[in-house]
């Protein structure tokens, strides 16, 4: 009889190797060439990407990465590595690999390590709590393309998302309560998610519904009056309309309505990264205080907190039953 051997593949987005214009350009070129991310016809998109976006955006974004870079590297990579090591420690019978959709460690290399070790069951855990075609489905596409080159496939479970998993909501609620205990209860709790183009949702991506599922479950867990909580979308890119309300425009308007103390959480980011540490914690704090806001606290991502690792352990174990 065949001996069962489990493998877990944790997958996140990817991040530049260094906070330099060249490294950011390499990263953005790969990321923004994915049709699941930008689906503009290639004949229009290639010249715009190569001729305008990469040359202008790379040096600007490299400076932003410099402002958050950690001693051990890009925050996203540092936290993902810690998550991988911590999950491996609580799943001693499984081989736990980390891969990035863009850059390294690459998906082909991680899958080769797993399949080469003879695993019989593979659990794929995209590190995105809310499904989106631009993130989770892109991982699915890439895995399918890579596995097309193998003769023997393991059984495969793909964790679509975990937007309202009780352990995820409990972990978020614990972070919010801890922040309220430390800084007092704010006028508003702002829940900010990464946006996507409105058209992707119109064409069937249920991402905004999954964000709403997380919001409502978190509000219920915290037992907060719904009017004390706002949900917004950040990280707008390009000219198409993106999901609204936008985080930056919303924060700019709050002080004029007498809302001077906010605390902000980004539950869609399983690790702190450029979009939380720079865009939210630096840029949006500046926007809010410049408009007359007084108190701003960013509630960190779940990163490698034990409750987060235990959530991952549960998600994987649920697939192995």
Least distance (Å) between residue 249 CB and ligand L6N33NVT: 17
Per rule CB under 6 A, is residue 298 in the interface with ligand L6N33NVT?
no
Three-state DSSP class for residue 189:
strand
- Pairing mode, strands 229-234 and 121-126: unpaired
The CA distance from 102 to 192, in Å, is 24
Residue 74 touches which member of Fe ion, ligand L6N33NVT, none, C-beta under 5-8 Å by kind: ligand L6N33NVT
- Which residue lies nearer to ligand L6N33NVT by CB, 123 or 301? 301
Q: What is the DSSP string of 25-37?
A: HHHHHHHTT-TTT
Least distance (Å) between residue 277 CB and ligand L6N33NVT: 8
- CA 149, 155, 158: angle at the middle one, nearest 5? 90
Q: How many other C-beta atoms lie within 10 A of the C-beta of residue 68?
A: 19
- Which residue lies nearer to ligand L6N33NVT by CB, 192 or 319? 192
For ligand L6N33NVT, the binding residue among 157, 170, 237, 297 (CB under 6 A) is 237
- Which residues are near Fe ion by CB under 5 A? 235, 275, 279
For ligand L6N33NVT, the binding residue among 269, 288, 296, 312 (CB under 6 A) is 269
- Which H or E element spans position 297? strand 295-299
Per rule CB under 6 A, is residue 205 in the interface with ligand L6N33NVT?
no
Closest CA to 139 of 110, 164, 119, 117: 110
Q: Which residue positions form the known binding site? A: 194, 275
For ligand L6N33NVT, the binding residue among 194, 236, 281, 313 (CB under 6 A) is 194
The CA distance from 1 to 49, in Å, is 53
- Which residue lies nearer to ligand L6N33NVT by CB, 45 or 180? 45
Residue 99 contacts residue 143 (beta carbons within 8 Å): no
Binding site for ligand L6N33NVT (CB under 6 A): 13, 15, 28, 37-38, 57, 61, 74, 76, 128, 132, 134-135, 194, 196, 207, 235, 237-238, 268-269, 273-275
């Amino acid at each position: 009889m065949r001996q069962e051997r489990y493998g877990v593949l944790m997958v996140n987005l990817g991040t530049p190797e260094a906070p330099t214009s060249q490294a950011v350009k390499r990263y953005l070129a790969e990321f923004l060439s994915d049709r699941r991310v930008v689906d503009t016809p290639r004949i229009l998109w290639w010249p715009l990407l190569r001729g305008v976006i990469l040359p202008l955006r790379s040096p600007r974004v490299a400076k932003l990465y410099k402002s958050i870079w950690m001693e051990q590297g890009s925050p996203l990579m540092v936290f993902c590595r810690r998550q991988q090591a911590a999950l491996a420690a609580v799943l001693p019978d499984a081989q736990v690999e980390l891969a990035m959709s863009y850059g390294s460690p690459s998906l082909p290399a991680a899958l080769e390590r797993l399949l080469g070790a003879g695993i019989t069951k593979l659990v794929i855990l995209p590190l995105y709590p809310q499904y989106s075609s631009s993130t989770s489905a892109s991982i699915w596409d890439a895995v399918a393309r890579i596995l097309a080159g193998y003769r023997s496939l393991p059984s495969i479970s793909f964790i679509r998302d975990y937007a309202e998993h009780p352990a995820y909501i409990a972990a978020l609620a614990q972070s919010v309560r801890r922040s309220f205990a430390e800084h007092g209860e704010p006028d508003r709790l702002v829940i900010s998610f990464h946006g996507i183009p409105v058209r992707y949702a119109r064409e069937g991506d249920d991402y905004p519904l999954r964000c709403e599922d997380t919001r409502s479950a978190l509000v219920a867990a915290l037992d907060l009056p719904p009017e004390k909580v706002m949900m917004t979308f950040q990280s707008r890119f390009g000219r198409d309309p993106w999901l609204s309300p936008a985080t930056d425009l919303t924060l700019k308007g709050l002080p004029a309505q007498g809302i001077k103390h906010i605390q902000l959480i980004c539950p869609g980011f399983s690790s702190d990264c450029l979009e939380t540490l720079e865009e939210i914690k630096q840029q949006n704090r500046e926007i809010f205080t410049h408009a007359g806001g007084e108190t701003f606290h960013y509630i960190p991502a779940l990163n490698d907190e034990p409750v987060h690792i235990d959530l991952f352990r549960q998600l994987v174990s649920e697939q192995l039953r």
